[in-house]
Amino acid sequence: EAGVAQSPRYKIIEKRQSVAFWCNPISGHATLYWYQQILGQGPKLLIQFQNNGVVDDSQLPKDRFSAERLKGVDSTLKIQPAKLEDSAVYLCASSLGGRQAVQYFGAGTRLSVL
């Protein structure tokens, strides 16, 4: 069974530029998550989707970050404009949902903002 796919693996941009990350979850997983992991810290949830709908985006900086999940499968996370403090690894995860569902993570996209 294929795991969570993310691209690109690495991205370097200058501040004030825009960037987009893509995620394809495990087949059949209804729930999709985007986490931000700053160097030296544990991941922090940015947004959770259940199928097409947003369940939790309370920690998403909505003035610059946006995310969508078209047709309840793939998802895109966008940053516009990027700031230096956005340098981090962006991890996508998916799960079947439900009370005890495990979240499975992709390899992440490492973003450097110069």
Partner 1 sequence: AQKITQTQPGMFVQEKEAVTLDCTYDTSDQSYGLFWYKQPSSGEMIFLIYQGSYDEQNATEGRYSLNFQKARKSANLVISASQLGDSAMYFCAMRPLDQGAQKLVFGQGTRLTINP
Give the footprint of partner 1 on this chain (CB under 8 A): 31, 33, 35, 40-45, 48, 50, 55-56, 89, 91, 93, 95, 97, 99-108, 110
Minimum Å gap between C-beta 105 and partner 1 is 4
| Rg (the chain; Cα; Å) | 13
Nearer to partner 1, 81 or 104 (CB): 104
Nearer to partner 1, 73 or 107 (CB): 107
Three-class SS state of 98 = coil
Nearest CA-CA partner of 66 in 25, 2, 54, 95: 54
Nearer to partner 1, 61 or 97 (CB): 97
Question: Do residues 36 and 46 touch, judged by C-beta distance below 8 A?
Answer: yes
